[in-house]
Structure 1
Amino acid sequence: MVKATDSGLFKGITLPNNGPVVSHLFYADDVVFIGDGNVEHAKNLNRILRCFFLALGLKVSPSKSKVYGIGLEEIELSFLASALDCNVGDMPFKYLRMLVGANMSRVASWKPVVDRFNAKLSRWNAKSLSFAGRVTLAKAVLGNLPTYFLCLCKALIKLAATKGSPVMENYKRFGPNVVWECSWKSHPTSESTWAELLGFLELLRMAEVKEGEDSWIWGQEVEAIFSVKTVREDLEAACTQLPLGFMIKWCNWAVPKANTFVWKCAQGRIPKRVELKKRGVQTGKNLCACCGYIPEIVEHLLISYMLAQALWWAIGV
C-alpha cells in the first residue's frame, strides 16, 4: 500500500498539521482503507487485494466488506461498491465495537456503551466471583472502558496550540484583567453545553495567574505538590464518618479479602444475628452464640468478646 500510494495508484488522506498520509489501518484481521473516493483508485485497490490473495492465500470476504462515504452521493458510492465488489454501508457503523459517524451528543448514541458496561458487570459474572473479585472487576471495567469509549468525544475548546506550551502563551493581560485565548474545536449546540463553557471560563477568570515557570500544585498551599495520594487524602477527609466513628484506610500490603471484610464490617454487611433480624430472617434470639449474654454485633464479635481480645493480644495489637 505504501508503494501504491507513492506511485499514485491509490491516494490516502493527509492528516492536518503537516501530518502523515494515511491509506489504511490494521487491527488483527480487520483493515480499513481510507481513500479519496476515486473509482480508478478503488479498482487499483481491488487489484492489490487480488495480488495479496494470490501471494498469501488470504482472501477478502466481499459479504463482510462495506464501503462508506463522507460527502459523497449515493450514485458515487454505488460505483465505488461495484469497483470493490462489496456493498454500501450506512452511517453510523461499528468498528472495534465503537460507533463511528454518530452524533455523540445524543443520549441514544451512548446506549451501546451502557450495554457494554452492563454485559461486563452482569450478575452472572458477579455470582461466580468473591467480593474482592467483584471489586477488582468493577475497577477494571470502570477504569478501562471509559478511556476506550470516551476517545470518540471531541473537546469543545482547546487553550494551548501545542501540548508543551506554557500557560502564559494562552492569555493576554490588560491591566489587572486576564483574557484567555480559546480556539474552537466544535461550537456549543445546546444550553447545557453553553452553561458548562461559561462556568469553565468563569473559573479561568477567577484564577490568579503569576509570571514564572509552570508548576503543578494542589489545594490552597502554594508549596503543595499535586499527586494522586494527596487527592485521595482530601477525599477521605471530606467524606462523612462511618457509623462506628472511624475512617477506613485501605492497606496495600493486606490481601483484598481482608480489606473488603473490614469494610463490610464497618458498613454492617456481615450477616450477624442482629442484622439478620432487621432483614426479616428468623434466627431465634439475637444473642451471641458463644457467650449467650450480649447481642451479636460487630463490636462484640471482633473486639469486646474475650476470645477476640485474646487473639488481638496474641498478634500484638
Structure 2
Amino acid sequence: MKILKCFENVAGLKVNLHKSLIFGLGVINDEVDNMAHRVGCKVGEFHFTYLGIPIGKNMNKVENWNPVVEKFNLKLADWKARSVSYGGRLTLVKSVLSYSIETLGLHFANSFLKVIGDGASTRFWEDPWLCELSLKDKFRRLSYFEVDRAVLVRDRIQWLDGSITMTWGWNRDLNGLAQDDLNALIILLNSYVKQDKPTDSWSWNMAANGIYTIKKMSGYIDDITIGNNTAHQNETLKNNLVPKKVEVFIWRVLKRRIPVRTELDKRGIDIDSVRCPLCDDDIETIDHLMFFVVI
C-alpha cells in the first residue's frame, strides 16, 4: 500500500482499488485472499487480458493471438470503409445492386444448366442438369428415398448406342406418389438429349451458344430497364470513353455534393466567408464555380 500511495503522490493519479486485481505467483490461494482483503481489491485469476493482450497463455501458439488479430481486422475494416475512394464506393454499390437482378425478372441462379458429357462431375440430385431446378427440388419426395443424395449422374444413368440404362438405389420400396414421381422422372430422362462431349460443362441458357458474358447480361438488363426508348437510353447508359472519376464528379455536381462554401455554410461548418476565393466577385456556389468564375 505504501508503494501505491507513493505512486499516487508522484504521478498525481489515483489508484481505483475497486477495479484492481491482485495475482499470486508461487504462493497459496489463502495468502492471495488475505492480501486482497487487506488491500481492498479483488483476486485475479489466470488467464486474463491486459491492454488487449492475453496474459498467462502460451503466446507461441497461433490460436492464442486470434482475439488480437480479430480486433485489428475490425479496426482496419472500419478505417478502409472511411478512406475508400469514390471509385471504390461506386464499385461496392454496383456489387450490392448486382444482387437485385432477380427483382428485374432475371432469375440468374436458375439460368445455368449442367451439360452432361461423362457424368463424372455432375451430381444427379443436387445439380441442375435435367431442367432448371435440381432433381432434389423438382422431385423432393423421391429424393428422400435415395441412398446417396450426392451420387453422380454416371452412377445412375448410362448412355450406350442411343439407349439409356438406369440404375437406382432406394432405401425402401417405392409405391403410391413416390412411384408416380419415378415414372415422371423416367419420362424426363428418356427425353433428354445427351451432348457428344467428353466431360461435363456448364451452359448459360440465356445465350444461344451457352456462353455467359457480362456484355450479354448487361444487354438483358438494359432491355428490361430501358427498353427501346432511345432518348431515355442516351440518358442512362454510361459512356465508356469518360473516365470513372469524371463520371463520379459530374454526378456529384448534379446532386449538389461539391463542398463549395455555400454548401459548407448550410451544413453548419464555420468558415470566414462564403465569397469565392478565386475571383471574389460573388458567393461561391456550385453554378458559380463551374460556369462563371474567371481564373
TM-score by length of 2: 0.30
- Structure number with the bigger relative contact order (C-alpha 8 A, sep ≥ 6) is 2
Normalising by structure 1, report the TM-score: 0.28
Larger Rg: 2
